[in-house]
Chains A and B, each alone.
Chain A
């Protein structure tokens, strides 16, 4: 597995560089690869950019680079949170949506839109979404907390209940808002990377780096937790403490990802799953690999969504579902065959 891991990591790094160049080059206005590479070179100060028109420079610098970076950050955050939750619940089918993050973020977003805050400042919507997500996760955990323990099944059920309740709250708020606000919400709820600006990058960078970095630091504890509660307690791990810390970190990563890109499903479920088959379940390898692969997967989905239909874009939240669903069905079928 060790050799495997280094090979997979190297392959992913190459793929990442390739996708970044593609992402900067493709779109409504095609920019030649040589210009993109020139532009990247000038950014790191290797050489001045030749032949790059001011228009191209503006597109790369103000549109495509922030878009690419937001995609990488969100993909990394969602995949790391997914891997952490799957380990935490000792269940390979857990997903960030399961603890109420997305539905909480949705309610926060609607509140921001309905009150007109989102029109006043561009930070209102992401910040409200983040608060909503964290509140929803806290509510889920509080409902599941009994006598100093968080039983996994109760937590999953609490997540479903909180999700359903918040969906009803969203629906109620939506029936009360005007049509153009409805449009704005709909646009947000299908996650997308278009119109991302440097502000989104800066907004997401620190929470995601801190939460994903901390999750990676706790990889050994995550390994032990993934053997189940009894085994973890048997080797002296304070289970409740680590579960709470990891839940919070995963919620922070997911909520930040959702808040800068909107709701994007399947990354947290599919990416860690795929990597576990390639490099094994040890979180010390799985987590860094998931971070990389999550970014790659989201960027790939975004690029495909940009070039698939000419003249219009398919938003990345739709693309991840289009690519993720068949893969997930394939996994389920494969598992059934094995049983």
Chain B
């Protein structure tokens, strides 16, 4: 980690008076593909939002050596691209129009997109294999296509850092894996990606590093094999979690066991004669 892009020390964040994250510290260098894992409500999205400056946070956050508070919005958008968890496009903008909007951070307020911007947007669309859809309205696309369009948009932003909040949600198995392959390729080319993942097995296969969040704290930080430990995961998820690595492929198989209390309730719920 020669050049540190992201330096987080003692981050605290929350909504209103409710604190969601406590004392989160880590650093990220270029070329890392970092998966944020943890149970629902652990603060994964909160972490991404506060790192992007969309939520107020305490602590020291430095991006490219500059404090978060010292960035003006437009400069920030030239360094970090952010894909929100739920994107809803209310109007029938065409795919090309949406991808071109990713160029906004590089334009003055009175400028229009120029030839160079169009070239970059075209390249982003081609990379994400959505060139055929360029003139289609975004809100008529399937979930997988739309996600690739939004990824093309943030690629067109040309930032060294990318924050993706559950980019694989709602995608089928092929698109999920494809998305992770894209991410891995981008990281090999020097980009740094932080993304929220729910599928731990996919996270293990593609990420170079995992951050495990649980109860608002950073419970583990390291290579997938180090983080995906029975004891750590059980602590984070609050239920017994088991991990087996496949002896040949090295892929992780992660599963939980049903708590006994649920088994006791089943006869009652099914209305069986007790």
- B109 A281 Cβ-Cβ under 8 A: no
Question: B157 interface residue, CB < 8 Å from A?
Answer: yes
- B75 A92 Cβ-Cβ under 8 A: no
- B77 A281 Cβ-Cβ under 8 A: no
Known contacts A235-B102, A236-B104, A237-B104; is-contact A92 B91 (Cβ 8 Å): yes
- Please measure, in the bound complex, the distance between the C-alpha atom of A329 and the C-alpha atom of B161, giving whole angstroms: 47
- A236 B74 Cβ-Cβ under 8 A: yes
- Determine how close the nearest CB of chain B comes to the CB of A156; give it in whole angstroms: 14
Question: A74 interface residue, CB < 8 Å from B?
Answer: no
- Please measure, in the bound complex, the distance between the C-alpha atom of A241 and the C-alpha atom of B228, giving whole angstroms: 45
Of the listed stretches B80-88, B176-184, B196-204, B255-263, name the one at the interface; the rest are far from the partner chain.
B80-88
Chain A 74-116: CB-based contact to B (< 8 A → 1; otherwise 0): 0000000000000100111000000000000000000000000
Q: Report the contact-size class of chain A (Cβ under 8 Å from the partner).
A: 20 to 34
- A233 B101 Cβ-Cβ under 8 A: no
Known contacts A217-B110, A234-B52; is-contact A228 B88 (Cβ 8 Å): yes
Contact of B105 among A218, A226, A236 (CB under 8 A): A236
Known contacts A221-B109, A234-B52, A237-B104; is-contact A282 B93 (Cβ 8 Å): yes
- A235 B93 Cβ-Cβ under 8 A: no
- Determine how close the nearest CB of chain B comes to the CB of A147; give it in whole angstroms: 8
Known contacts A224-B104, A230-B84, A231-B84; is-contact A236 B73 (Cβ 8 Å): yes
- A227 B74 Cβ-Cβ under 8 A: no
Task: List B92-111 residues whose CB lies under 8 Å from chain A.
Answer: 92-94, 97-98, 101-102, 104-105, 107, 109-110
- B73 A238 Cβ-Cβ under 8 A: yes
- B73 A233 Cβ-Cβ under 8 A: yes
Question: B247 interface residue, CB < 8 Å from A?
Answer: no
- A235 B77 Cβ-Cβ under 8 A: yes
- B101 A282 Cβ-Cβ under 8 A: no
Known contacts A223-B101, A236-B77; is-contact A280 B82 (Cβ 8 Å): no
- Please measure, in the bound complex, the distance between the C-alpha atom of A92 and the C-alpha atom of B93, giving whole angstroms: 13
Chain A 207-236: CB-based contact to B (< 8 A → 1; otherwise 0): 000000000011011011011101101111
B88: chain A residues at CB < 8 Å are 228
A1: chain B residues at CB < 8 Å are 94, 135
Closest-by-CB residue of B relative to A238 is B73
- Determine how close the nearest CB of chain B comes to the CB of A283; give it in whole angstroms: 10
- Please measure, in the bound complex, the distance between the C-alpha atom of A237 and the C-alpha atom of B83, giving whole angstroms: 15
Task: List B108-140 residues whose CB lies under 8 Å from chain A.
Answer: 109-110, 112, 135, 137
Task: List A170-226 residues whose CB lies under 8 Å from chain B.
Answer: 217-218, 220-221, 223-224, 226
Task: List B36-56 residues whose CB lies under 8 Å from chain A.
Answer: 52, 54
Contact of A92 among B73, B90, B109, B110 (CB under 8 A): B90
Contact of B104 among A228, A235, A280 (CB under 8 A): A235
Question: B89 interface residue, CB < 8 Å from A?
Answer: yes
- A280 B52 Cβ-Cβ under 8 A: no
- Please measure, in the bound complex, the distance between the C-alpha atom of A81 and the C-alpha atom of B92, giving whole angstroms: 20
- Determine how close the nearest CB of chain A comes to the CB of B113; give it in whole angstroms: 8
Closest-by-CB residue of A relative to B56 is A147
- B77 A220 Cβ-Cβ under 8 A: no
- A223 B76 Cβ-Cβ under 8 A: no
A223: chain B residues at CB < 8 Å are 93, 97, 101
- B74 A230 Cβ-Cβ under 8 A: no
Closest-by-CB residue of A relative to B89 is A227
- Determine how close the nearest CB of chain A comes to the CB of B110; give it in whole angstroms: 7
Closest-by-CB residue of A relative to B97 is A282
- Please measure, in the bound complex, the distance between the C-alpha atom of A226 and the C-alpha atom of B87, giving whole angstroms: 12
- A236 B76 Cβ-Cβ under 8 A: yes
- Please measure, in the bound complex, the distance between the C-alpha atom of A279 and the C-alpha atom of B165, giving whole angstroms: 33
Known contacts A230-B84, A236-B104; is-contact A91 B90 (Cβ 8 Å): yes
- B75 A90 Cβ-Cβ under 8 A: no
- A276 B92 Cβ-Cβ under 8 A: yes
- Determine how close the nearest CB of chain B comes to the CB of A198; give it in whole angstroms: 35
- A237 B73 Cβ-Cβ under 8 A: yes
4 other A-B residue contacts (CB within 8 Å) besides A224-B104, A230-B54, A230-B84: A227-B89, A231-B84, A233-B54, A236-B75
8 residue pairs of the A-B complex, CB under 8 angstroms, read: A1-B135, A220-B107, A230-B54, A235-B101, A237-B74, A276-B91, A280-B137, A282-B97
Closest 5 A/B residue pairs (Cβ) = A236-B77, A281-B91, A236-B74, A234-B82, A236-B105
